[in-house]
Amino acid sequence: MRYVSTRGAAPVLDFADTLLAGLADDGGLYVPESWPTLGSGGRGDYVETAVEVMAPFVGDAIDADAFAAMVDDAYAGFDHPDVTPLVELSDGIHLLELFHGPTLAFKDVALQLVGRLFDHELSRRGERVTIVGATSGDTGSAAIEACRDREAVDIVILHPAGRVSDVQRRQMTTVPSANVHNVAVDGTFDDCQDLVKAMFADVAFRDEVRLSAVNSINWARVMAQVVYYVVAAERLGGRRSPVAFSVPTGNFGNVFAGHVARLSGLEVPQLVVGSNTNDVLTRFFAEGAMDIAEVVPTTSPSMDIQVSSNLERLLFEMGGRDGAAVGAQLDDFRATGRFRLDAVQHAGLADGWAGARFGDDEVRACIGDEADRSGIVLDPHTAVGVLAARACRRDPSIPMVALATAHPAKFPDAVEAATGARPALPERLADLHERPERLVALPDDLATVQDHVRSCRRG
């Protein structure tokens, strides 16, 4: 399998090079040159289906036995034997729980595999990297858990001091591994992100420490997320019977993986995109237009995003895979802050997509009501997806699956406000608040942070 850039002007790569490259040289995102066709089998066993679904995307870039062993290992650490179990809500909507990994959010599903793939491929090449990232909460801990104790990787995560929740900070700072480094920056999340961007823009520094990232535009993350759409279909009626999905959406990586499953032959008549108050995507699906606005903080912070980077992959598909046209459309969007689909592109969206937005009040009511009715406690992100599923469902004879992207204990304040009870952390994290923390506090100063990153490298 070969990978092409959505802007059409970067080298064509195999899976392993795409994995390590992340973003394409021309600023685009990598996508497979063609979509594989799903076989008809599958018994709902997570690891078995995962190996089969991902094999055509990996091609011969990674040894098949080594790949299968990494998949097995990645999901052995999940809390539930089904890896991503299905439960039923009060109104018959199915909830696909994606939060049984180490950091209690769906990003673990992809990152647990991607960390292993990185380490495998770097070790094979005799290379090492320093992964640097900024986090406002969730992504940092998932990246740290994915990279801890990996030989070929050192990881440094910047977070804004005093501006992430206790649970979120402790999930990062209590990891005792020698290759894990946390920096509390005296500044905001945007300051952290600016520091990371500046480090990547400093070519000499980038080469010196072999800077790398595992962010949500990496193709391997999308690929690993395709699996649970297929697994859910298998468990509900088989790969050939239709299933609709509703996805609480930020960067559009998760829901795009559902679209990939559809392009590969899974029958998905409807993909519902749930948004919080930051609702550019709702307008995109309703009107074929987007206008950049300010990001508004909500109780579902991992969806507080205005420009969804993975949308570029959908635009590329809808526009007949014309990389030059996608590049021009996005340059124009950046310059004007406005985006318009042409009539043909918009018509192409009408069928299989829907979108809806919900404010924090509706989210709070949804969490409280569902806890009363079924005893199932939703986190605020998941509640957005459940609300969107209920609002947009077209055909009640087709099963609707809402994706549960975080464990309620990850957002205890919002959940307690909705239900009156504070959700408990799972057993294995019960002593999180007693574990020793490791972090350094640094000023918002590029040279100081760069010196620290240098000092974190092993070997």
Ligand X SMILES: *Cc1c(COP(=O)(O)O)cnc(C)c1O
CB closer to ligand X out of 202 and 304: 304
Distances (CA, A) of 389 to 1, 241, 250, 362, 436: 34, 19, 16, 14, 41
**Residue number with CB closer to ligand X (381 or 393):** 381
Residue 152 vs 330, nearer CB to ligand X: 330
Closer to ligand X by Cβ: residue 56 or 380: 380
Pair of tokens at residue 417: 């406000």
Among 105, 192, 214, 371, binds ligand X (CB under 6 A): 105
SS3 for 361-382 is: HHHHHHHHHHHHHHCCCCCHHH
Let me know: does 381 contact 360? Beta carbons within 8 Å: no
| Contacts of ligand X in 335-364 (CB under 6 A) | none
What is the nearest approach in angstroms of ligand X to the Cβ of residue 276? 10
Residue closer to ligand X, measured from CB, 196 or 273: 273
| Minimal distance, residue 248 CB to ligand X, in Å | 5
Please give the residues from 406 up to 445 whose contact with ligand X meets the rule CB under 6 A: 406
Can 197 be counted among the known catalytic residues?
no
- Residue 306 is which amino acid? Q
CA 356 to CA 343: how far, in whole Å? 21
170, 235, 381, 393: which one binds ligand X (CB under 6 A): 381
Q: What is the total count of residues that contact ligand X (CB under 6 A)?
A: 17
Buried b (16+ CB within 10 A) or exposed e, 62-75: beeeebbebbeebb
Site for ligand X in 233-252 (CB under 6 A): 248-252
Could you give the CA distance from residue 21 to residue 218 in angstroms, rounded to a whole number? 8
Q: Considering the complex, what minimum distance in angstroms separates the CB of residue 3 from ligand X?
A: 19
Encoding tokens for residue 76?
């052995």
Q: Segment 254-313, which members bind ligand X (CB under 6 A)? A: 254, 302-303
Which residue type does 22 have? Answer: G
8 A C-beta contact, residue 252 and residue 311: yes
| Closest CB to ligand X: residue number | 251
* Least distance CB 234 / ligand X (angstroms): 22
Nearest to 249 by CA among 267, 225, 231, 223: 225
Q: How far is the CB of 411 from ligand X (least distance, A)?
A: 8
Residue closer to ligand X, measured from CB, 179 or 216? 216
Q: Which one among 216, 270, 275, 277 touches ligand X, defined by CB under 6 A?
A: 216
Q: Given 7, 94, 100, 107, which residue is catalytic? A: 107
Find tokens 């959700």 and name the residue.
423
Contact present, 212 and 20 (Cβ < 8 Å):
yes
In the three-class reduction of DSSP (H, G, I as helix; E, B as strand; rest coil), residue 19 is classed as: helix
User: Nearest CA to 152 among 193, 210, 237?
Assistant: 210
Binding-site ranges for ligand X (CB under 6 A): 105-107, 138, 216, 248-254, 302-303, 381, 405-406
**Active site residues per annotation:** 107
